[in-house]
Amino acid sequence: MSEKSAVKSEIMRILGKTDRFAYVHSFGCQLNVSDGEKIKGILAELGYDFTSDERKADIIILNTCAVRESAEERVFGIVGSMKKLKEEKPSLIIGLAGCMTAQKHIAEKIRKSYPQVDFVMGTSAINSLPSLLLECLRGRKFSCDIGEYDDFSENVAQIRESTFKASVPIMFGCNNFCTYCIVPYVRGRERSRSPHDIYSEVESLVKDGYKEIMLLGQNVNSYGKDLGGAVDFPELLRMLNKIDGDFIIRFMSSHPKDATHDLIDAIFECDKVAKHLHLPVQSGSNTVLERMNRRYTIEKYLETVDYIRRKSPDFSLTTDIIVGFPNETDEEFNATADLIKRVKYDNIYSFIYSRRTGTKASEMEDITPESTKSERMRRLLETQREISTENYKRFVGRKMRVLADGVSKKHGGFLTGKSDEFIIVEFEGESSLIGQFVDVEITDSMNWAVLGRLIK
């Protein structure tokens, strides 16, 4: 018997035949959610069922995010409140996984100050879950595995959150070291999965009826460089586009320094690839971009935008922006406000800069008051609202293909979904349509979504 199956049978022997419930919650980005689906897959193999009620759980795993301080504080708050659960049920096992735990100082803080936590598992240690669990079941007080492995968990069966939208990581880690960002420290260097493994996974997801395939990586544009470059990202898109079936391919994120004309050409060539690009700019100012180590200029960024817009004037673009990077001046911030007016994004995801221990920017002195940063954020969001309102009018009167993905929280009897351009579309319809592509004629627009009528 292999060591892996010996661990598995020992766990199943200790757990016995009674029902066991697991509560797994993932914070942060879709990559983390995808890891959470693998964690669930491993637990299911060990005989666990799942619950959304923490009080019913025999094991709780919080799959954490470290990108901003607020994300970490939230987890510490939740872990703090779990002390009571543990007192009520001493056999409860609490584990922390994900990006927060991959930082030594955090793993140490958890060990010292949160005795209710039984184990800590780093981002690339998912395959160690059975052995960590076994140590807990045998009564060990605290187990920790934050080692770095090159194992992609290729053979882990996933328990997916959705029956029609699937995330497919194509690469892990990041080599870019933007000065504000913790990700390279908690996710390690870039490792690409083989094109063959990705192709087979997408092919079988499509066969299983999945309608949206989201390819994930911190910088998908550097996909394949570590494999010798035989298949680069545009080539991967072209390969996946050949898979038969009715589905849409999305991807995230694309670093502007590596967004080539070939990438854009591939988006336009491939009928299954969404006509939307998320191109995180972070700042509209070259001096800030330099302090961020982003390695492109606004001129180069706009050249890419213009190349896209020449092919399709109203192509949908979205971006990420950091407001209040250390010592951002009014002039530098105004450059960001000007940029969003120039590019006319359909949506922006903006964040106030958060200091991350261990990053280069955390050593930069910062005299900009928090109140100034909040005021800049408010102005930016207001500007974007005006832009979105204006932009979304272009869809009125058009027919859009929409993947219905849920019931609208704002409009009774309405469904909500995403168009190919990644625009939220709300329309009246039966919930049996959820998970299907439908055609919607757009009748009205707002600043966050468009409204429409289902075309029978």
Give the binding site for ligand F3S (CB under 6 A): 28-29, 31-32, 65-67, 99, 182-183, 186-187
Cα gap 381→327, rounded to integer Å: 20
Question: Which residues are paired to 322 by β-bridges?
Answer: 351
Q: Are 32 and 99 in contact (CB under 8 A)?
A: yes
HSE-up (13 A, CA, CB side) for residue 303 = 11
Closest CB to ligand SAH among residues 354, 445: 354
Residue 75 in contact with ligand SF4, rule: CB under 6 A: no
Residue showing tokens 């180069």:
300
320 binds, among ligand SF4, ligand SAH, ligand F3S, none (CB under 5 to 8 A by kind): ligand SAH
Question: Measured between alpha carbons, how far is residue 281 from residues 222, 284, 286, 324 in Å?
Answer: 17, 7, 11, 14
Residue 320 in contact with ligand SAH, rule: CB under 6 A: yes
Closest CA to 416 of 430, 431, 404: 404
32 binds, among ligand F3S, ligand SAH, ligand SF4, none (CB under 5 to 8 A by kind): ligand F3S
Closest CB to ligand SF4 among residues 281, 434: 281
Residue 34 in contact with ligand SAH, rule: CB under 6 A: no
Closest separation in Å from C-beta 29 to ligand F3S: 3
Closest CB to ligand SF4 among residues 128, 221: 221
Burial 351-369 (b: 16+ CB within 10 A, else e): bebbebeebebeeeebebe
184 binds, among ligand SAH, ligand F3S, ligand SF4, none (CB under 5 to 8 A by kind): ligand SF4
Residue 45 in contact with ligand SAH, rule: CB under 6 A: no
Structure tokens belonging to residue 407:
């019931």
Structure tokens belonging to residue 291:
């302090």
Residue 219 in contact with ligand SF4, rule: CB under 6 A: yes
Which residues in 269-328 contact ligand SF4 (CB under 6 A)? none
Phi and psi torsions of 256, nearest 5°:
-55, -30
Closest separation in Å from C-beta 259 to ligand SAH: 11
Contact letters for ligand SAH, residues 290-309 (x by CB under 6 A): --------------------
Backbone Cα Rg of the chain: 23
Residue 28 in contact with ligand SF4, rule: CB under 6 A: no
List the beta strands (DSSP E) in 15-90: 21-26, 49-50, 59-64
Q: Which of 101, 127, 167, 282 binds ligand SAH (CB under 6 A)?
A: 282
Q: Alpha helices of 163-297 — where are they, by DSSP H?
A: 183-187, 195-207, 233-241, 261-269, 286-291
Cα gap 407→237, rounded to integer Å: 31
68 binds, among ligand SAH, ligand SF4, ligand F3S, none (CB under 5 to 8 A by kind): ligand SAH
Residue 198 in contact with ligand SF4, rule: CB under 6 A: no
Cα gap 136→133, rounded to integer Å: 5
Q: Which of 181, 281, 380, 451 binds ligand SAH (CB under 6 A)?
A: 181
Task: Identify which range of 82-90, 173-181, 234-242, 260-268 contacts ligand SF4 by CB under 6 A.
Answer: 173-181
Residue 280 in contact with ligand SAH, rule: CB under 6 A: yes
HSE-up (13 A, CA, CB side) for residue 367 = 2
Instruction: Return contacts of 133-141, CB within 8 angstroms, 24+ apart.
Output: 133/11, 133/46, 133/59, 133/93, 133/95, 134/7, 134/10, 134/11, 134/14, 136/93, 136/95, 137/11, 137/14, 137/15, 137/93, 138/14, 141/115
Closest CB to ligand SF4 among residues 67, 404: 67
354 binds, among ligand SF4, ligand SAH, ligand F3S, none (CB under 5 to 8 A by kind): ligand SAH
Quick one: DSSP state of residue 120? E
Closest CB to ligand SF4 among residues 42, 171: 171
Closest CB to ligand SF4 among residues 125, 178: 178
Contact letters for ligand SF4, residues 245-264 (x by CB under 6 A): ----------x---------
Instruction: Return contacts of 241-246, CB within 8 angstroms, 24+ apart.
Output: 241/269, 241/270, 241/271, 241/272, 241/273, 243/199, 243/202, 243/203, 243/206, 243/272, 244/206, 245/206, 245/207, 246/211, 246/437
65 binds, among ligand SF4, ligand F3S, ligand SAH, none (CB under 5 to 8 A by kind): ligand F3S
Residue 218 in contact with ligand SF4, rule: CB under 6 A: yes
Residue 174 in contact with ligand SF4, rule: CB under 6 A: yes
Q: What is the dihedral of CA 382, 447, 349, 250, to 10 degrees?
A: -160
Residue 181 in contact with ligand SF4, rule: CB under 6 A: yes
Residue 183 in contact with ligand SF4, rule: CB under 6 A: yes
HSE-up (13 A, CA, CB side) for residue 347 = 13
Closest separation in Å from C-beta 303 to ligand SF4: 20
| Footprint of ligand SF4 (CB under 6 A) | 174, 176-178, 181, 183-184, 218-219, 255
Binding residues for ligand SAH, rule: CB under 6 A, are: 67-68, 180-181, 183, 218-219, 253, 255, 280, 282, 320, 322, 351, 353-354, 356
